[in-house]
């Protein structure tokens, strides 16, 4: 073993932050993503950066060679608009986890982390805006979101069976709406905090203070700032806990409430044009953090207002750079 850590999906939002954190802590990192390197959100010359399609078995075996740990963050995903309109593409990500698990077993990788999602939870438990926070056992009986959610739940089971049958050390984390700087903020794959920040910035710049809102705005979610996400990943990997675990903040907010917060940061009041035909997902979703508190003695800490202010400022800077004709990754 070379003590190298593989980050699959390193060109993505969470992957880029994770690579930076691991390098800052003195680890050797192999960073792999399917996107051309100029489209990676963050890229460090201190990492071994590789462009490869990890849906392919040979690419996974090449990437996993000589690695001590693997963080599998690679998948085809985006905001609700992308997930609802690209179910087959989302399900093809099962190839990534399948081939990476096979490679990890072949090379004797010590620890393997799979990034799952709150989309594995049954939709009938998320029909009310005043939702009961979802605990890990609520994933069964299984009825996840079609496409993306089924791929995640199936891949969770595969990780568990590799642990049971082959003695691998696996970790499975269920993300709840991660946001922050250095991520997607336009183009259709962005999530609500980034999309609404961009829309409000555009409205402010144009003087037309009207924005489109998907749905009636009463749907509720929790949102976790990226710094907490990275802390949680590293704590989980260092722990001995191998069953699926929520990684999300338990601060519930409606989409209308999110707009209020961002408008306050922007110093404007916007008019809302509710598009009731747009994708809006489940009615309410929140993270039950009892298990992560029990197993890790910690839960995400950054409050939504603090994280939104940082995210809004970063997106504002990106839009200013874009207006000057500079190259930005979005």
Distance, in Å, from the CA atom of 63 to the CA atom of 47, rounded to the nearest integer, reads 13
Neighbours of 11 (CB within 10 A): 26
CB of 309 closer than 8 Å to CB of 263: no
Query: Which string of DSSP letters, residue by residue, matches 181-247?
Result: SSS--SSS---HHHHHHHHHHHHHHHS--EEEEESSS--EEE-EEHHHHHHHHHHHHHSS--S-EEE
- 234 in Cβ contact with 296 (< 8 Å): no
Q: Which is the catalytic residue, given 112, 148, 225, 312? A: 148
> Is residue 13 within 8 Å of residue 183, measured between CB atoms?
yes
Cβ-contact 107, 197 below 8 angstroms? no
148 carries an active-site annotation: yes
Q: How many CB atoms lie within 10 A of CB 188?
A: 12
CA 81, CA 290: separation in Å to the nearest integer?
31
Rounded distance, CA 34 to CA 207, Å? 39
Supply φ then ψ for residue 310, to 5 degrees.
-70, -40
Query: What does the alpha-carbon distance between residue 6 and residue 30 come to, in Å, rounded to a whole number?
Result: 5
Which residues are known catalytic residues?
148
């Amino acid at each position: 073993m070379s003590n190298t850590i593989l980050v699959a999906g390193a060109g993505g939002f969470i992957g880029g932050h994770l690579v930076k954190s691991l390098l800052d802590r003195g680890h050797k990192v192999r960073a792999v993503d399917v996107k051309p390197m100029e489209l990676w959100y963050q890229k460090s010359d201190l990492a071994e950066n590789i462009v490869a399609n990890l849906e392919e078995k040979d690419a996974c075996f090449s990437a996993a060679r000589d690695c001590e740990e693997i963080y599998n963050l690679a998948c085809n995903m985006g905001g609700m608009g992308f997930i609802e309109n690209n179910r087959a593409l989302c399900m093809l990500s099962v190839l990534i986890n399948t081939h990476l698990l096979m490679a990890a077993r072949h090379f004797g990788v010590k620890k393997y982390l799979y990034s799952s999602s709150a989309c594995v939870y049954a939709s009938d438990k998320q029909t009310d805006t005043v939702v009961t926070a979802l605990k890990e056992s609520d994933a069964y009986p299984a009825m996840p979101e079609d496409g993306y959610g089924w791929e995640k739940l199936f891949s969770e089971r595969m990780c568990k069976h590799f642990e049971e049958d082959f003695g691998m050390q696996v970790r499975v984390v269920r993300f709840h709406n991660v946001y922050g700087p250095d991520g997607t903020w336009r183009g259709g794959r962005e999530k609500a905090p980034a999309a609404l920040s961009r829309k409000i910035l555009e409205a402010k710049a144009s003087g037309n203070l009207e924005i489109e809102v998907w749905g009636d705005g009463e749907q509720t979610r929790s949102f976790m700032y990226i710094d907490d996400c990275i802390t949680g990943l590293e704590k989980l990997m260092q722990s001995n806990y191998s069953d699926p675990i929520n990684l999300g903040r338990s601060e519930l907010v409606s989409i209308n409430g999110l707009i209020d917060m961002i408008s306050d940061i922007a110093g404007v009041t916007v008019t809302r044009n509710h598009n009731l035909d747009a994708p809006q997902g489940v009615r309410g979703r929140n993270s039950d953090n009892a298990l992560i508190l029990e197993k890790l003695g910690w839960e995400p800490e950054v409050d939504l207002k603090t994280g939104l202010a940082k995210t809004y400022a970063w997106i504002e800077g990106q839009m200013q750079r874009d207006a000057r004709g500079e190259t930005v990754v979005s």
